[in-house]
A and B are shown apart, each in its own frame.
Chain A
Amino acid sequence: MSKQDISVQKKELSPQEKRLLGLERSKSDGRVERLLAEFRNERPSIDIERGKFFTESFRATEGQPLVLRWAKALYHYAKNATVYIDDGQLIVGRAGKQGRYGILYPELDGDFLDEAIKALPARESSPFDITPEDARTVIEEISPYWKGKTFHEALAKALPEDTFRLTYNADAEHSSRFIVNETASFRSSIQWVHDYEKPLRVGFAGIRAEATAELNKLDEFSPIDNTEKKPFLEAVILTADAIVLFAERHAIEAEKKAKNASDPLRKKELKELAEICRNVPKNPPKSFREAVQSQWFIQLFSRVEQKTGTIISNGRMDQYLYPFFKADKEKGILTDDAARELLECVWVAMAQYIDLYLSKAGGAFNEGYAHWEAVTIGGQTPDGRDAVNELTYLFLKSKREFPLNYPDLAARIHTRSPKRYLHEVALTVKDGSGFPKLINDEEVVPLLLSKGASFSEAYDYSVSGCAECRMPNRDTYTSPCAYINFAAAVEMTLFNGKMLKYGDEVIGLRTGEVGDFKTFDEFLSAYLRQQKNFLKHAFIQQHEIIRLRSEHFASPLGSGLHALCMREKKDIHSPHIAGGIDLGYFEFIGYGTVIDSLAAIKKLVFEEKTLTLSEIKKGIEHNFEGYETLRARLKSAPTYGNDDPYADEIGRLLDREALDFTVKYSEEFGVHLDLRLVPFTSNVPFGKVVAASPNGRKAYSPLSDGSSASQGADVNGPTAVLLSNFATKNYDYSHRAARLLNLKLSPSCVAGDSGTEKLVDFIEAWRKLKLWHLQFNVINRKTLLDAQKDPEAYRNLLVRVAGYSAYFCELSKDLQDDMIARTEHVDF
Chain B
Amino acid sequence: MYGTIFNIQRYSLHDGPGIRTVIFLKGCPLRCVWCCNPESQSADIEVGFDASKCLYGSGCRACAERFGRETTDGATLIGREELNRMTEKTAYCPTKALFSFGKIMTVGEALDTVERDEVFFGKDGGITLSGGEPFFQSGFALALLKEAKARHIRTAVETCGAVRGDIILESAKYIDYLLYDIKHLDGEKHKAWTGAKNAEILKNFEDLCRVFPSLLKLVRTPVIKGFNDDIIDDIRAYAASHGAEFEPLPYHAFGTKKYEYLGKEYPYVF
Contacts and interface: CB of A to CB of B under 8 A. Distances in A.
A92 B49 CA distance: 66
B249 A6 contact: yes
B18 A758 contact: yes
Interface in B81-115: 94-96
B59 interface: yes
Contacts of A6: 34, 36, 222, 249-252
B58 A717 contact: no
B185 interface: no
A758 B10 contact: no
Given A3-B15, A5-B37, A9-B14, A761 B122 contact: yes
Interface centre among B14, B96, B121 (most CB of A within 10 A): B14
A755 B17 CA distance: 10
Contacts of B61: 629
A261 interface: no
B252 A8 contact: yes
Interface stretch (A240-248, A452-460, A718-726): A718-726
B14 A2 contact: no
A122 interface: no
A544 interface: no
B262 interface: no
Contacts of B181: 1
B55 A761 contact: no
Contacts of B94: 629, 632-633, 636
Given A2-B15, A4-B24, A628 B37 contact: no
B117 interface: yes
A64 interface: no
Interface in B142-160: 158-160
Contact of A2 (B34, B62, B130, B250): B130
A210 B26 CA distance: 77
A757 B124 CA distance: 10
A827 interface: yes
A720 B18 contact: no
Contacts of A768: 119
A716 B255 CA distance: 20
Interface residues of A, number: 39
B46 interface: no
Contacts of A7: 14, 249-250, 252
A719 B22 contact: no
Interface string A1-23: 11111111110000000000000
Interface centre among A1, A720, A764 (most CB of B within 10 A): A1
Interface centre among B122, B222, B254 (most CB of A within 10 A): B122
B158 A2 contact: yes
Contacts of A765: 19, 119-120, 122
Nearest to A633: B94
A755 B13 contact: yes
B255 A5 contact: yes
Interface string B119-145: 111111100001111000000000000
B21 to A, nearest CB: 8
Contact of A825 (B11, B19, B32, B125): B11
B210 interface: no
Contacts of B121: 761
Nearest to B255: A5
A194 to B, nearest CB: 37
Given A5-B222, A629-B60, A827 B13 contact: yes
A7 B223 CA distance: 10
A636 B124 CA distance: 35
A749 interface: yes
B41 to A, nearest CB: 11
A502 interface: no
A761 B37 contact: no
Interface of A: 1-10, 626, 628-629, 632-633, 636, 643, 716-720, 722-723, 749, 754-755, 757-758, 760-762, 764-765, 768-769, 825, 827-828
Interface of B: 9-15, 17-19, 22, 24, 32, 34-37, 40, 55, 58-62, 94-96, 116-117, 119-125, 130-133, 158-160, 181, 220, 222, 249-252, 254-255
> Lowest 3 A-B CB distances belong to which pairs?
A761-B122, A717-B11, A6-B222
5 contacts: A1-B131, A2-B130, A7-B249, A760-B122, A828-B13
